[in-house]
């Protein structure tokens, strides 16, 4: 019996190692499944790991029995998605007289909501304006294609149009630029009005920053219309000079400097970064009659950061053009005037909190600071060498020594100019207010022939309130002799600095007195009353 039990134990012990190949095959299959899943996607690999059998072998055993090469998962940047932005009709958001209606309130809310969620919005034009935009895009495409035949194939074309600028004889431009400028300018102002209304401001609160409509004679517009053409050969960002033309390309995107920008194109090709840092194709579902709206740095400063500037860039693969011949775009940049002041006081008056960094600043200085910052970023990222302006020799940028004294002097001059600008504006306002208060007083003084000056010297009295051959009464002052006080005289001539030459009635003496010592005779009764007294005095003497 004992012998039989020992034989059964030996059989069981010899039979136990047999399932080992099965576990090895299971481990190999599990490793192969994990490798294949890592090649497909990280999500599929995670799912395969979740559903793997629980009888997993130890890590050391798996390393000893590894079959085939070890595959390391590679992280690939996810493709840029296309976001369908809310569409707002220009007819719904355009300002009008009267009480606000439901479509206007909904359009303002939709426009501002799209800017807050996506940093961009789409404005849908009417049929007439859409036809103008399609005509402008076709005209710009034909213009650049014709010009490329003389300049060279494969070159990118950019044309900037400003209203009021006279064209020279040798200067040519794409057709319909003036009509497109008016059409997009109208849409840009309507969008700016809607943004102001959503911030609980007057719709025209930013009008002092804009050009007058229409422009005065011989004045060039601050806003600019940029027509851009990019051939299909310049894909993947090669040869680009900015996403919408006129700017400097940047690896991390571009930022608009002005108030806002409207973009119309014949094919997709512009990406925008949303507030979460995600890039998306903003004009993927836009038609030539649609305008893509993005806000700029100037509006961000004027609203104390409530409407931040959008970050955009050219799509690296816009080869999916509908026409296959490149991409044409029209961008309208609504720019503030150079002599205007970016001030956040209306934002504070509306109850919003203003950070201390948003101080009043002139537009010219604001743009200069942005340009200097942009140049510094470009120099640090792209340019290792700079070129001398005299001998054209290459100089290493790191060896250049900044002129700190010149920079400090330039900053001091700008600060002094801004201080004078604000001081002069406040002084003009104070003079106007004091002038309005002093007008009734000066009018009464002129009627009485009495001219006085204010203590601060802002409003000066009339120095010649009397005319020649006019009869006056000498009231006298500290310089007037006592014998002439109370007598009447006739003005014979006018002298400098408010002095008159008088002929005393009765005695015939000539005396030179200032206008302050004289007074007009109000009526003839005073003269008749004073004449007998003089006759009595003369007879008594």
- How many residues are present in the chain? 541
Q: What is the pLDDT of residues 487-534, one digit of tens each?
A: 999 999 988 888 899 999 988 899 989 888 898 887 544 444 444 444
pLDDT value for 496? 84
Tell me the C-alpha to C-alpha distance, in Å, between residue 500 and each of 356, 452, 466, 482, 509.
Answer: 60, 17, 9, 18, 14
Who's near 332: CB < 8 A, 6+ residues apart? 180, 181, 184, 185, 187, 188, 223, 224, 225, 226, 261, 262, 263
Radius of gyration of the chain measured on its C-alpha atoms: 42
Q: For the residues of 162-196, what is the DSSP string, one character each?
A: -TTPPPPTT----TTHHHHHHHHHHHHHHHHHHHH
pLDDT value for 482? 86
Residue for token pair 């002799």: 481
Q: What is the pLDDT of residues 443-489, one digit of tens each?
A: 665 555 554 444 444 444 456 788 889 999 998 888 888 888 989 99
* Backbone angles phi and psi of 329, in degrees to 5: -140, 150
Extended strands (E) in 323-380: 327-334, 341-342, 361-362
**Please, which residues bridge with residue 158 across strands?**
228
Tokens representing residue 17 in the block: 């190692």
* Backbone angles phi and psi of 66, in degrees to 5: -65, 135
Sign for the CA dihedral angle at 239, 240, 245, 248 comes to negative
Q: What is the pLDDT of residues 132-156, one digit of tens each?
A: 999 999 999 999 888 877 655 555 6
Who's near 499: CB < 8 A, 6+ residues apart? 512, 513, 514, 515
Residue 17 CB neighbours (<10 A): 8
Q: Which of 109, 98, 120, 419 is nearest to 263 (CA)?
A: 120
pLDDT value for 203? 92
Beta carbons of 324 and 231 less than 8 angstroms apart: no
Give the single-character DSSP code of 18: T
pLDDT value for 514? 87
pLDDT value for 72? 41
Write out residues in the chain with pLDDT < 50, as ranges: 1-6, 9-77, 169, 235-241, 319-322, 381, 451-461, 524-541
Extended strands (E) in 51-94: 81-82, 87-89
Give the single-character DSSP code of 322: S
pLDDT value for 481? 87
Q: Where are the alpha helices (DSSP H) in 210-349?
A: 297-302, 345-349
Beta strand 327-334 with 224-230: parallel, antiparallel or unpaired?
antiparallel
pLDDT value for 273? 93
Q: How far apart are CA 210 and CA 223, in angstroms?
A: 9
pLDDT value for 296? 94
Beta carbons of 121 and 88 less than 8 angstroms apart: yes
Beta carbons of 361 and 300 less than 8 angstroms apart: no
Q: How far apart are CA 518 and CA 474, in angstroms?
A: 5
């Amino acid at each position: 019996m004992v012998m039989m039990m020992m034989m059964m134990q030996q059989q069981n012990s010899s039979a136990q190692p047999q399932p080992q190949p099965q576990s090895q095959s299971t481990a190999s299959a599990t490793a192969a499944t994990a490798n294949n899943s890592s090649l497909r996607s990280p999500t599929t690999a995670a799912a395969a790991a979740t559903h793997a059998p629980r009888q997993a072998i130890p890590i050391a055993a798996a390393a000893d029995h590894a079959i085939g090469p070890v595959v390391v998962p590679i992280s690939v940047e996810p493709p840029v998605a296309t976001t369908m932005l809310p569409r707002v009709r220009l007819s719904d958001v355009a300002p009008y007289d009267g009480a606000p209606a439901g479509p206007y309130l909904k359009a303002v809310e939709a426009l501002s909501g799209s800017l807050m969620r996506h940093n961009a919005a789409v404005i849908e034009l009417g049929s007439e304006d859409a036809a103008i935009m399609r005509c402008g895009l076709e005209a710009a495409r034909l213009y650049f294609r014709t010009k490329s035949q003389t300049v060279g194939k494969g070159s990118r074309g950019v044309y900037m149009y400003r209203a009021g600028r006279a064209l020279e004889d040798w200067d040519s431009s794409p057709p319909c630029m003036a009509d497109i400028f008016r059409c997009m300018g109208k849409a840009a102002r309507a969008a700016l009005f809607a943004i102001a209304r959503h911030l609980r401001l007057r719709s025209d609160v930013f009008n002092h920053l804009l050009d007058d409509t229409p422009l005065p004679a011989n004045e060039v517009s601050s806003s600019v219309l940029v027509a851009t053409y990019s051939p299909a050969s310049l894909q993947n960002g090669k040869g680009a000079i900015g996403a919408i033309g006129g700017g400097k390309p940047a690896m991390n995107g571009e930022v608009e400097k002005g108030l806002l920008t409207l973009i119309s194109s014949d094919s997709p090709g512009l990406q925008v970064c949303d507030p979460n840092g995600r890039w998306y194709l903003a004009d993927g579902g836009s038609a030539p009659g649609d305008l893509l709206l993005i806000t700029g740095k100037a509006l961000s400063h004027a609203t104390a950061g409530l409407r931040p500037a959008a970050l955009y860039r050219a799509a690296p693969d816009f080869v999916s053009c509908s026409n296959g011949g490149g991409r044409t775009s029209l961008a309208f940049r609504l720019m503030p005037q150079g002599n205007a002041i970016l001030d956040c006081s209306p934002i504070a008056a509306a109850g919003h909190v203003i950070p201390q960094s948003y101080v009043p600043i002139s537009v010219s200085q604001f743009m200069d600071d942005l340009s200097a910052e942009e140049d510094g970023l470009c120099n640090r990222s792209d340019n290792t060498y700079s070129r001398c302006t005299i001998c054209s020799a290459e100089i290493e940028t790191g060896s250049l020594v900044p002129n700190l004294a010149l920079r400090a002097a330039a900053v001091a001059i700008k600060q002094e100019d801004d201080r004078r600008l604000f001081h002069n504006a406040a002084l003009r306002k104070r003079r106007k207010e004091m002038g309005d208060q002093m007008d009734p007083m000066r009018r009464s003084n002129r009627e009485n022939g009495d001219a006085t000056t204010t203590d601060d010297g802002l409003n000066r009295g009339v120095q010649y309130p009397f005319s020649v051959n006019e009869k006056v009464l000498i009231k006298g002052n500290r310089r007037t002799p006592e014998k002439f006080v109370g007598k009447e005289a006739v003005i014979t001539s006018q002298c400098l600095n408010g002095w008159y030459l008088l002929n005393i009635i009765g005695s015939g003496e000539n005396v030179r007195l200032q206008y302050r010592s004289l007074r007009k005779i109000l009526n003839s009764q005073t003269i008749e009353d004073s004449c007998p007294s003089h006759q009595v005095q003369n007879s008594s003497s």
